[in-house]
Amino acid sequence: MEKTAIRLLKAEEIECRVSVIRENGLSLLLYKDARVDQKILDETFGMFGWKRSHQSIEGNLYCTVEVYDEEKKIWVAKQDVGTTSYSEKEKGQASDSFKRACFNWGIGRELYTAPFIWIQEELANIQKKGDKLYCNDHYKVALIDYNDNREITSLVIVNGKGNCVYTMQTKAAPGNRGKRQQKKTPQESALTDDQMTALQVELDRTGVAMEAVRERYRIGKTETMNEAMYKRVMEALAKTKSVVAE
């Protein structure tokens, strides 16, 4: 089973979800659904080569995805917990826990290397109702490429009319990825004043909301971001176009 490779997601298997909406634009997150997970599990291990189960632990719903190892003649399990959905609570947790367990098997893990996807206001139909901003546009991935490290290197997103609203292309930096970071103390992990200032400058330049950064990288408080995460955020912002000057 060690030689079995989970393939990378195709463009048509990736969906776009609006994350944060501001008056000057909106951010998108890339995600996969449970049907894609099932399809790739079938392709990789066969219809009878995997199975899933659910159990409730302290009120949280967990999913276990097991794959049969033909060489060792055993089932290998990986598990994760789901989050509550606003609608159909139990169904939402079941689906989410399954998708998270599949991430543990490597399905769609490349989505974690996605850049910030910020759509400028002139390319999005952002509307306001009372104090609330919303957007009814639909977006999809038209093209995506990866490098040998399974990292996203090219990305094109179009709206429902087929118009391109976001493009990204980068060259892989040899030897920079995959190096183990030296563990730091909590004091060493906190950002300096200069780093906080540099981060804010990039946010202002791109128009990206800090809420989008925190959601994309699951960051709690900005000031507690460690050096490795800070570097990832700044690299992603560097790939983002500047706000169009008025």
Residue 185 has pLDDT above 50, yes or no: no
Mean pLDDT score across all residues of the chain: 84
Which of 39-53, 173-187, 209-223, 226-240 has the lowest average pLDDT?
173-187
Count helices and strands (H / E) in the chain.
6, 11
Structure confidence at residue 1 (pLDDT): 60
First to last CA, the chain: 56
On whether the pTM is more than 0.75, the answer is no
Structure confidence at residue 214 (pLDDT): 83
Among 86, 90, 70, 69, smallest CA distance to 78 is for 69
Structure confidence at residue 50 (pLDDT): 97
Alpha-carbon gap, residue 234 to 240, rounded angstroms: 10
**Comparing 246 with 68, which gets the higher pLDDT?**
68
Percent of the residues in the chain that have a pLDDT greater than 70, as a whole number: 84
Question: What are the structure tokens assigned to 42, written together?
Answer: 């079938």
Alpha-carbon gap, residue 154 to 125, rounded angstroms: 25
Q: Which domains does the chain have, with CATH numbers?
A: 11-32+109-238 (no CATH), 36-104 (3.30.160)
Return all residues near 205 (Cβ < 8 A) that are at least 6 apart: 237, 242, 243
Alpha-carbon gap, residue 108 to 198, rounded angstroms: 31
Alpha-carbon gap, residue 186 to 221, rounded angstroms: 13
Which of 15-29, 37-51, 72-86, 168-182 has the lowest average pLDDT?
168-182
Question: What are the structure tokens assigned to 115, written together?
Answer: 């850049």
pLDDT tens digit string along 127-154? 999 989 999 999 999 999 999 999 999 9
pLDDT tens digit string along 148-184? 999 999 999 999 989 999 998 765 444 444 433 333 3
Residue 101 has pLDDT above 90, yes or no: yes
Provide DSSP, 159-196.
ETTS-EEEEEE----TTTTTPPPPP--HHHHSPPHHHH
